[in-house]
Amino acid sequence: MMAATQPVAATAEDAGKALQKQLLAEYYHSLSDEGRDGRKVAYLFVPGNVVELTQCFDMLPVYPEINALQCGIKKVAGDNILRAENLGYSSDVCGYVKNDIGLMLADRQSPFGQLPKPDLLVCNFSGCNTFVKWFEALAHFYGAELFVLDVPYLRERSPSREDVQYVTAQLEELAAVCERVTGVSFDRQRLRGVLEQSAEAERRWVEVLHTAKAHPSPFDAYFEAVFYMAPLNILRGTEGCAEYYRLLLEDLRSRVQEGRGPVPEEKFRVVIEGPPPWPHFRSFWELFKRWGVCSVASTYSKVGGLFDQGIFHDPSRPFESIAEYAMNSYTNWNLGLRLDLLRRYLKEYEADALVIHSVKSCRSFSVGQADFRDALTRGEGIPTLMVESDLADPRYYSEAQLKNRIDAFFESLAHRRLVGG
Amino acid sequence: MTVYVAGADVGSTTAKVVVLDSTGQVLGTSLGPTGASIVEAAQREFREAVKAAGIDEHEVEFVVGTGYGRFKIPFGDAQITEISCHARGAVHLFPDTRTIVDIGGQDTKAISVDERGEVVDFSMNDKCAAGTGRFLEAAAVTLGLQLEEIGPLSLQSSHRLRITNVCTVFVESEIMTHMMKGERVEDILRGVHNAIAGRSISLLRRVGINPDVAFTGGVSRNEGMVRTLEEQLELPVHVSPLSQYIGAIGAGLFALDRARGGGKTIRAAIPTVSHAGHASGGDH
Amino acid sequence: MTAVREWKEAHPGAKAVGAFPVYVPTELIQAAGALPVSLFGGGGSVEISHADSRIQSFVCSISRSTLELGLRGYLDVLDGMVFPSICDVARNLSGIWSRNFPNRLVEFLHLPQNRDSPSAIAYAVAEYRRFLTALEKLTGRTVRAEDLAGAIAEHNEEREAVVALLELRRTTPWLLDAWEGGLLLRAGGVMERGEHARLLLRSVAAAKERNRKVQDRVRVLVLGAFCEQPPLELVRTIEEAGCYVLEDDLLLGLRWFKEPVVADGDPLRALAEAYVTASPPSSVSHYRGPPKQNLLVQRVKDLGAAGVLFCTAKFCEPALYDQVLYKERLEAAGIPYVHVEFEEKMTTFDNVRTQVETFVESILFE
């Protein structure tokens, strides 16, 4: 079904975009010297973050990973990375970390203004050991207090009782630290309220994700999802965030009604695994668009939480649900669980193929992707394309090579379809 | 009524063109260096191939371009990647092919096809010279030999010598070390060939190794490479005298699909691309 | 693996469990009646052919070569594998292993990283218990407290012997080379703890009898080889280039605890508690004591060493991050250092030799 004569829900789409813009502008303003208004700053990682808790202490959250991807998009990550390498960071370590160190060396001047220093580093290390090294370095350079929230790796589908107990006990300890750092008393009732907002946004987000089951999908579940998920990662727990997803859902539902999608004609539906090449985001997307490819599910959009697997924050079980949420971030799932998720996405979203974008920086994501490919192509006959570059370092991107592989892959899929296969 | 088509495979080092008739038979071929201008090289080889086929240029109904320079071929009617073309060409020459290993001057490709000759999976090494023809060139230069000599010489090896370096830059010093130790050139060369075969097989394993195996690309003319691949794979390997033209042949066959007419061609699936082209800039 | 095969033949029905490097509570493996086998990768001799289709190339050699050995069947003699918390690569490798060897026991041990937390010990106990249950299932044996206490005692014995070796090297480095020490430590990878302890003590005694003169070499610390081990020839090259290696972190997991683990009462708890309270500073776990880099500087001064040699595996993330902080601190303290990266398949060490000789000369001619 091609485009209708007049998009009915231009309002919801525009309203959603405007709200996101407004919310993010307010967020960055709150981080500025005047906007902060004496509030303390907590640095957090996106996977398994505990922003609901820090929010109760009026702490402003800063996410170095998000700073890194923004710098990638705005083409300044390269400079930051070089600064970090001059300081002694190897070319073989994570580009996100180097971008952050480089940012620090540039007095935290980012494309969004100067970022504040951390008052507390909350290393919620879920699914990535490098996070510990990252914040140990920041603790050293800033002389800031560091709390390492140890989040056990998920070996089974559900965390064990001991896993949950360990994390909830640490959350109590963290609450005490936050009290001390901010001088604000811990209000459990307030936490419940914040969790309520989070849960609302999360449920709507899941419905947003499910709209991609439509043919054609109303949005690209990778290239667009990584922007749609921003409020959930940066502003979770706020009213504005929940409202944004209400608008987004309305917008997407109208697109489904009208049969509107991100490409003129949806020819191939794919699941995409791995982070995007931020410094070359647009050109990478173009390589797929020209083949009429639309992503219907992705895993990078789940680093902030596997909500679509039924893991939501729950005001009736505050610390338990935060603990469960923290353990259920995509890279904290073991490889068997990840592979199984890929299979389910391929089936549930009726995808034609899997695309793996493997990034040099991130071992957590990348180590094992070749094994996924082996399992799916040779074991199960699922067409899988694997391409490589990096998520932050602009130097590792070779357009000619990527284009060759992407073209070859979709050529062969197209040809097989034609000859009836 | 006979139909003539052409396939043009323009890589970064060589340009190859073949002219086919409607039965898919190769009527004329031409090969030359790409040099600084893809456009000139493609035009030149096209003219030569057409001459060799004994026909006129305007008699060629459809041309498919492939290879690194495919978007810059001014007379190309469609562009298809060399993966699809190599697979098509290899299966055309050896119908029972299921696995193709293509070792070129600068990259190596592993392709697996199904019983219909459709590409099922592929994997490429184009980031690193290890396991490519470049590695052989470096070895030849270090030993002061011509590229054509090293294959036959390697076959005269009498004892096993392992080359451990995968890096083309470091292999030179490793070869020198062996020379200084008094190792025979034949044995060193065998070690080099074995190392390249090892890297290629590692790439092949990603797509699965199923017989029959076809070996294509410039390096397939090196008998030493053929032998070591067969030994390490424990499988016979098909090689054709037309091995350098396999990509162009595949392209020609796709051109034939199109020329025979009908919407049922891959052309219908590919988005229209202007000849002014796609800036596929950037190095390897 | 021949040694492992022989051991299994001598103990019919018994199992062998491979342990990936750094620290694994192998006491648990032994208590269950199985042989803990330390893995050192394929060394320079294994050509990567199968592993590339499962794991990328920008990772340390040991993860690739171990996987290659496994895929080629060389590790079939191992009935199980345990991967401890080291880094993202090792952690994900446990997942690759699980899928490719579905009929073997594969465990990932989440060793606590927040060791300050009062709940860390309880968690470690739970993790160890989980692992032990899996081992019991594998061996078909129930582990009693005495079994575990016995295993702990033997491990203590081994650790004591290691300490004796390290002390010999630290105080009289000319009597036993660092590479020899490395070899002796590695030998323990495929034998029982008690046997290893005896081997080490015999070697220490024999070394003391050696008639070797003290040479005019620069005294250094070598840091960074806590997981993937450098080729022994590399260590030897460093020494021959003019160094006495007073202290290193080769096979750090073998001397993880300085003091014996006291196993009275609840041995499992004692072992878990030891991990949480007595682990040394290392790159593989979050350390809450004084900054590691300050400890390093202090150690250099205490030992009267002239410099530090960072000897790290190529692509080893934990080492690469810590290095930046170490180097900054060493520079501030005016302590010379040099950095050498190694890979398993290194065959020529001339570059390293030149590098280290230059380093030595710069110290001598200061």
pLDDT at position B265 over 50? no
Helix ranges, C247-291 (H):
267-278
Contacts with B198 from chain C: Cβ below 8 Å: 47, 49
Which architecture does CATH list for A30-418?
Answer: 3-Layer(aba) Sandwich (3.40)
Q: Is residue B281 one of the residues assigned to a domain?
A: no
Residues B85 and B19 in one domain: yes
- Answer yes or no: is C342 within a domain: no
- Find the mean pLDDT for residues B108-124: 93
Same domain, B173 and B262: no
What integer pLDDT is reported at residue C96 of this predicted model? 97
Q: List the structure tokens of B182.
A: 């008094």
Which segments within A87-129 are labelled E, that is strand?
109-110, 113-114, 120-125
B278 is a domain residue: no
Domain contains C156: no
| Nearest CB partner across the interface for B205, out of C44, C50, C347 | C50
Helix (H) or strand (E) holding C307: strand C307-313
Across the A/B interface, how many CB contacts are shorter than 8 Å? Answer: 90
Is B269 at the interface with chain A, CB within 8 A? yes
The verdict on residue C347 lying in a domain is no
Residue A99, CB-side half-sphere exposure with 13 Å CA sphere: 29
Statement to judge: residues B159 and B106 lie in one domain = yes
Phi, psi of B276 (to 5 degrees): -65, -20
Q: Is residue C172 part of a domain?
A: no
Minimal Cα–Cα distance from C123 to chain A, Å? 6
pTM: 0.92
Nearest C-alpha neighbor of B83 from the set B113, B39, B115: B113
Whole-number Å distance between alpha carbons of C245 and C247: 6
Q: Residue C317: closest CA among chain A residues belongs to which residue?
A: A93
- With a cut of 50, say whether residue A48 has pLDDT above it: yes
Q: Give me the number of domains chain B comprises.
A: 2
Radius of gyration (Cα) for chain B, nearest Å? 19
* Amino acid (1-letter code) at residue A315: P
Cβ proximity of A394 and A98 under 8 Å? no
Residues in chain B with CB shorter than 8 Å from the CB of C53 are: 202, 205-206
Instruction: Write out the residue range of the structural domain in which residue C59 sits.
Output: 2-141
Q: What is the pLDDT of residues C183-207, one digit of tens each?
A: 999 999 988 999 999 999 999 999 9
pLDDT at A414 over 60: yes
| Same domain (yes/no): B206, B184 | yes
Residue B257 within a domain: yes
Phi first, then psi, for residue B15 (nearest 5°) are -115, 130
Kindly report the number of other CB atoms within 10 A of residue B28's CB atom: 18
Of A384, A407, A418, the CB nearest to B81: A407
Structure confidence at residue B135 as a pLDDT band (50, 70, 90): confident
Look at residue A421 in the predicted model and tell me its pLDDT.
55
Tokens of C222: 């070598």
Q: Which pLDDT band, with edges at 50, 70 and 90, does A3 fall under? A: very low
Would you call C78 exposed, middle or buried from its count of C-beta atoms within 10 A (0-12, 13-18, 19+)?
buried
Residues of chain C with pLDDT under 70: none
pLDDT at res. A11: 80
- Of all residues in chain B, what percent carry a pLDDT higher than 70? 91
First and final CA of chain C: distance in angstroms? 48
Q: Is residue C32 part of a domain?
A: yes
d(CA A184, CA C303): 48
The 10s digit of each residue's pLDDT in A365-405 is 999 999 999 999 988 999 999 999 999 999 999 999 999 99
> B270 pLDDT exceeds 50?
no
Span B75-94, pLDDT tens digits: 889 999 999 999 999 999 99
Q: What is the CATH number of the domain that holds B76?
A: 3.30.420.40
Q: Which run of H or of E encompasses A210?
A: helix A188-210
The reply to whether B104 and B211 lie within a common domain is: yes
Q: Select from B81, B126, B207 the Cβ nearest to the Cβ of A411.
A: B81
Residue B52, domain member (yes or no):
yes
A touches which chains (3+ CB pairs under 8 A)? B, C
**B108 and B41 within one domain:** no
From the CB of residue A246, how many other CB atoms can be counted at a distance below 10 Å? 17
Question: In chain B, what percentage of residues exceed pLDDT 90?
Answer: 64
- Closest CB from A398, A409, A415 relative to B282: A398
In this structure, what token pair is assigned to residue C27?
């006491």
ipTM of the complex: 0.95
Domain annotation covers residue C237: no
Work out the pLDDT band at A28, boundaries 50, 70, 90.
very high
C:52-71 residues touching chain A, CB 8 A cutoff: 52-56, 58-59, 63
**Average of per-residue pLDDT values in chain A:** 94
- Give Cα separations from B217 to B39, B87, B113 (angstroms): 22, 12, 17
* Band of residue A102 on the pLDDT scale cut at 50, 70, 90: very high
| CA dist., res. B73 & res. B82, Å (int) | 14
B74 within 8 A of B239, measured Cβ to Cβ: no
Q: What does the pLDDT read at residue B125? A: 87
The range of the structural domain enclosing residue B69 comes to 4-91+244-269
Query: Quick one: B235 and B248 in the same domain?
Result: no
CATH of the domain at C84: 3.40.50.11890
Classify residue B39: in a domain, yes or no.
yes
Please state the domain count of chain C: 1
- Based on the domain organization, do B59 and B172 belong to the same domain? no
Q: Where are the beta strands (DSSP E) in chain B?
A: 4-10, 14-20, 26-33, 60-66, 78-79, 99-103, 108-113, 119-125, 213-216, 237-238
Co-location of B182 and B77 in the same domain: no
Q: What is the pLDDT of residue A10?
A: 58
pLDDT of A202 strictly over 90: yes
Cβ contact, residue pair C348, B177, below 8 Å: yes
Instruction: State the DSSP code for C285.
Output: B
The residue among C18, C21, C33 whose CA lies nearest residue C70 is C18
Beta carbons of C218 and C364 less than 8 angstroms apart: yes
pLDDT grade for A9, boundaries at 50, 70 and 90 = very low
Q: What is the pLDDT of residue C15?
A: 96
Instruction: Specify whether B102 is located in the same domain as B152.
Output: yes
Q: Write down which residue in B239, B257, B279 finishes a domain.
A: B239
User: What residue has token string 């997981």?
Assistant: C227
For chain C, how big is the Rg over CA atoms in Å?
A: 20
- The CA distance from B127 to A402, in Å, is 11
Which chain B residues are Cβ-neighbours of C48 within 8 angstroms?
202
Residues B258, B190: one domain? Answer: no
pLDDT confidence of residue B1: 62
Contact (CB, 8 A) for B222 and B190: no
* Residue A52: burial class (beta carbons within 10 Å; 0-12, 13-18, 19+): buried
> Is residue B277 in some structural domain?
no
**Cβ separation of B264 and A399 shorter than 8 Å?**
no
Q: Are residues B160 and B222 in the same domain?
A: yes
Q: How do C337-342 and B78-79 pair as beta strands?
A: unpaired
Residues of C (327-356) whose Cβ lies below 8 Å from A: 327-328
Both tokens assigned to C26: 């192998």
